[in-house]
Amino acid sequence: MDSKELTIAKQVFSTEIAGLKKIRDNLGTSFLAIITLILNCQGKIILIGMGKSGHVARKIAATMSSLGSCAISLHPGECMHGDLGMIQKQDLIILISYSGESEEIIRIIPNIRMIGSTIIGITSNKNSTVAQKVDVVQIFEDVHEACHLGLAPTTSTTIAMVYGDALAVTVSILKGFDKKDFGLLHPAGSLGKRLTIRAVDLMHAVPTQQILHMDSFLSDALMVMIESGMEIITISDEKEKIIGIIDEKTIKSALISGIDIYSQTVSCYIRKFPIFMDVSAMAIDALTIMNENDLTSIPIVNEERVIGIIKKTDILKVGICQ
């Protein structure tokens, strides 16, 4: 049996879930009209709310911007003191007010009208001033707050945020916004780095003299490793096209086994399978190949010719991980 605390908590969940289901099942012409306005917007999408609705406005604006629709939020009080200057005719205004009678919201509507922007309203009161004064309105009818007093914005704010998510995601999909676009807007995040940082961006250039051939000796490979600080050496054919690599572990194993590295060529120790990355590959792909082949470095090639080496440590250092 649940404790009193769990019973209360579960009731909050149930009330808010019921509210969401009701709005979901009644989505229709207003939602479609708003989607059309957002898709056709030539300026910014500006969300304005007061109190808890202001927090919701900021969250929706952040989500829209994250998914490819330029959006900001404004405080209605600050709008009365100069922030209306941020609004232009081509902008789309979304006013969020549960009651539809928030004084701070109502006072700025005439000024927005004079600027010439299209106005959308989101409210729970179809007879409110906001509902009557905007161009398109979304009504959330018969919302039951999860608050035990039925007063604190709980279900209503949850509905508004999910509705905002629905707008943002729908528009993003219709615009063809993809992972590459997402990465462009999130360069500091791990996902953004995975999507934007190429292997070539992190590679260490390899001079011609550090590229060996099949008749090179193991001792030559060891010297190049020591001089370059690299853990792999690339082997190319007579046309300078990559054949494979020889790694640090192989050299160590040869030394331990007593092989004469001054007379033994690298030809018998090359890892010939395709373990190199094309110049166009992403850093995350290089990391995947290294992990799959137990390597700490991998060559970068352009038209089968080695141009550099990328190290696992350099990939991890910039915050890219699997």
Share of the chain above pLDDT 70, in %: 98
Is pLDDT larger for residue 120 or for residue 262? 120
Q: What is the pLDDT of residues 16-75, one digit of tens each?
A: 999 999 999 999 999 999 999 999 999 999 999 999 999 999 999 999 999 999 999 999
| Spacing of C-alpha 140 from chain mean position | 30
Identify the DSSP state of 123.
E
Q: What is the identity of the amino acid at 207?
A: P
> What is the CB neighbour count within 10 angstroms for residue 137?
22
Q: What is the 3-state secondary structure (H, E, C) of 243-254?
A: EEEEEHHHHHHH
Q: What is the pLDDT of residues 69-113, one digit of tens each?
A: 999 999 999 999 999 999 999 999 999 999 999 999 999 999 999
Say what the pTM is: 0.70
Identify the DSSP state of 93.
E
Alpha-carbon distance of 296 to 317, in angstroms, equals 13
Alpha-carbon distance of 206 to 49, in angstroms, equals 57
Q: What angle do CA 239, 275, 294 make, to 5 degrees?
A: 145
Q: What would you report as the CA-atom Rg of the chain, rounded to the nearest whole angstrom?
A: 30
Q: What are phi and psi of 308, to 5 degrees?
A: -175, 180
| Span between the terminal Cα atoms of the chain, in Å | 42
